């Protein structure tokens, strides 16, 4: 039997009516002759509520218990989806991660797949079941505890199943009808793409475009999964949505193909640290150990060097806002232990990151200049810049984020095909 993976995100299973709507789409594929593995997210808002409860109960929580609580939203939708399909006379069975078993590492809250043995599901399909409904976002550790895969992780569950079961396609049903040049919620000029390369989607996802979890794109690229994003609310067919595929399948030749943003960023500056070999390692080692995801880094000559007999420098870096407390603790710990010395730590919690992405940048100069002048025209001040082969990112004041995304979308004429 040919097999499809169909994943439904939170808004697509937000209530019983929407679960029925999603189940109709599954039934249509079964009627076309497919066996289907359905991956479901928690009902929209549910995971946030569960995370909130954990934080309220225990701010520095035990991550094993975080996973026990936060994974539960998906269990409800998996069961409800199987029941809805049964009511439609489609033979379906639900599976929680541990039942498959979806084997992961034991990094609670950010676990990675180790293996998805096929035997249990294959046996069920052989018995005549047409649909296996899998609770997304979760797995089981070698110690036998429930794990979760990081926010947005159901996308990755879907791609991992598509790879393990050699699915014909992995369809990600969501609340937009494809992948756009930027988040369509930020500008109505955003244009839906027919296709996007794995590399560009990987970069957009890792820079904040939450339409796909970064790890899902990585896995799709590695295992050559045909990955598609489409709407769960529209009538759809085999041509609908956006296909994520190899670069050589793409006809468009724009230098920049998308703009991404990450809203909740913070900028931290260690003022007047000693300028000596090993200082970066002494700063970023403890941050890494504390699990802080440091992103952009700049080292500057300090304005406050007077009064210091040894050379000093300022070290600036960015990280997600919700990791500031952990970063502060790690740095103060390193200072108290005598590993680093600094005069003060300045924290700006009102930053956002905006990035332009395009494989065309490999062969075209001038993208950075165009980006910076578009931001200058809007009088948006740039705090930190970072570049790589196919992206340029800037850290700016959060209040200018929407404006910056719109200005860059215009400057690179992303509303036009090319
Ligand atoms: P789901 O609950 O289905 O997983 P998400 O909210 O995680 O859905 O992802 C879909 C959202 O991603 C869209 O509603 C949209 O606001 C946002 N998004 C960000 N960047 C893009 C983009 N480039 N193209 C499409 N959607 C995007
Ligand atoms: N429910 C989880 C989240 O909100 C996983 C997902 O929807 O992909 O992050
Ligand atoms: Mg998502």
At 263-302, the pLDDT tens digits run 999 999 999 999 999 999 999 999 999 989 999 999 988 7
Distance separating alpha carbons of residues 16 and 193, to the nearest angstrom: 31
Ligand 1 mean position to 209 CA, how many Å?
Answer: 7
Are the C-beta atoms of residues 92 and 130 closer than 8 Å to each other? yes
Percent of residues, the chain, with pLDDT higher than 90: 91
Does residue 186 belong to any structural domain of this protein? no
Distance separating alpha carbons of residues 239 and 125, to the nearest angstrom: 27
Residue ranges around ligand 1 (CB below 6 Å): 9-12, 41, 152, 174-176, 179-180, 182-185, 209-211, 258
Does residue 103 belong to any structural domain of this protein? yes
Does residue 74 belong to any structural domain of this protein? yes
CATH of the domain at 121: 3.40.1160.10
Does residue 265 belong to any structural domain of this protein? no
Across the range 104-110, mean pLDDT stands at 96
Ligand 3 mean position to 156 CA, how many Å?
Answer: 10
The whole domain housing 94 covers 3-175
Ligand 3 mean position to 206 CA, how many Å?
Answer: 13
Does residue 354 belong to any structural domain of this protein? no
Ion ligand 3 residues within 5 Å by Cβ: 9, 152
Q: What is the model's pTM?
A: 0.94
Does residue 151 belong to any structural domain of this protein? yes
What average pLDDT is seen over the chain?
96
The per-residue pLDDT for 187 is 97
Are the C-beta atoms of residues 411 and 374 closer than 8 Å to each other? yes
Is the per-residue pLDDT at 62 higher than 80? Answer: yes
Does residue 118 belong to any structural domain of this protein? yes
Are the C-beta atoms of residues 64 and 110 closer than 8 Å to each other? no
**What is the DSSP-derived secondary structure letter of residue 255?**
S
Nearest CA to ligand 1 atom 15: 183
Q: Does the C-beta of 109 come closer than 6 Å to ligand 2?
A: no
The per-residue pLDDT for 300 is 85
Does residue 171 belong to any structural domain of this protein? yes
Ligand 2 mean position to 291 CA, how many Å?
Answer: 21
Nearest CA to ligand 2 atom 5: 152
Q: Does the C-beta of 71 come closer than 6 Å to ligand 2?
A: no
Q: How many domains does the chain have?
A: 1
Tell me: the pLDDT tens digits for 321-362?
A: 989 999 999 999 999 999 999 999 999 999 999 999 999 999
């Amino acid at each position: 039997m040919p097999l499809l993976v169909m994943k439904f995100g939170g808004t697509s299973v937000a209530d019983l009516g929407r679960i029925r709507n999603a189940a109709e789409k599954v039934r249509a594929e079964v009627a076309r002759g497919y066996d289907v593995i359905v991956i479901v997210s928690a009902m929209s808002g549910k995971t946030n509520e569960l995370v909130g409860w954990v934080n309220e109960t225990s701010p520095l929580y035990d991550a094993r218990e975080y996973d026990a609580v936060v994974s539960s939203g998906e269990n409800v939708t998996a069961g409800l989806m199987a029941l809805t399909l049964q009511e439609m006379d489609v033979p379906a069975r639900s599976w929680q991660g541990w039942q498959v078993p979806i084997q992961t590492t034991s990094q609670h809250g950010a676990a990675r797949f180790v293996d998805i043995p096929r035997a249990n599901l294959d046996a069920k399909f052989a018995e005549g079941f047409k649909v296996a409904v899998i609770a997304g976002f979760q797995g089981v550790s070698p110690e036998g505890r429930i794990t979760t895969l990081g926010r947005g992780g159901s996308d990755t569950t879907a791609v991992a199943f598509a790879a393990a079961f050699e699915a014909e396609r992995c369809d990600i049903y969501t609340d937009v009808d494809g992948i756009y040049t930027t988040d369509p919620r930020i500008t109505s000029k955003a244009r839906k793409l027919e296709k996007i390369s794995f590399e560009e989607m990987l970069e957009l996802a890792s820079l904040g475009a939450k339409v796909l979890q970064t790890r899902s794109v990585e896995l799709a690229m590695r295992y050559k999964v045909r990955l598609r994003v489409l709407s769960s609310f529209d009538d759809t067919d085999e041509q609908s949505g956006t296909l994520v595929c190899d670069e050589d399948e793409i006809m468009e030749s724009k230098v920049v193909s998308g703009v991404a943003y990450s809203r909740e960023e913070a900028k931290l500056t260690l003022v007047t640290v000693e300028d000596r070999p090993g200082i970066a390692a002494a700063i970023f080692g403890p941050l890494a150990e504390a699990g802080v995801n440091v992103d952009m880094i700049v080292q500057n000559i300090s304005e406050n060097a007077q009064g210091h007999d040894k050379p000093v420098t300022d070290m600036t870096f960015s990280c997600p806002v919700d990791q500031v407390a952990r970063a502060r603790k790690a740095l103060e710990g390193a200072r108290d232990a005598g590993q680093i010395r600094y005069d003060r730590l300045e924290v700006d919690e009102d930053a956002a990151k905006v990035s332009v992405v395009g494989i065309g940048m490999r062969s075209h100069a001038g993208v950075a200049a165009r980006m910076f002048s578009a931001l200058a025209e809007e009088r948006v001040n740039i705090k930190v810049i970072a570049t790589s082969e196919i992206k340029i990112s800037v850290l700016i004041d959060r209040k200018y984020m929407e404006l910056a995304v719109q200005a860059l979308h215009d400057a690179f004429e992303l509303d036009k095909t090319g």
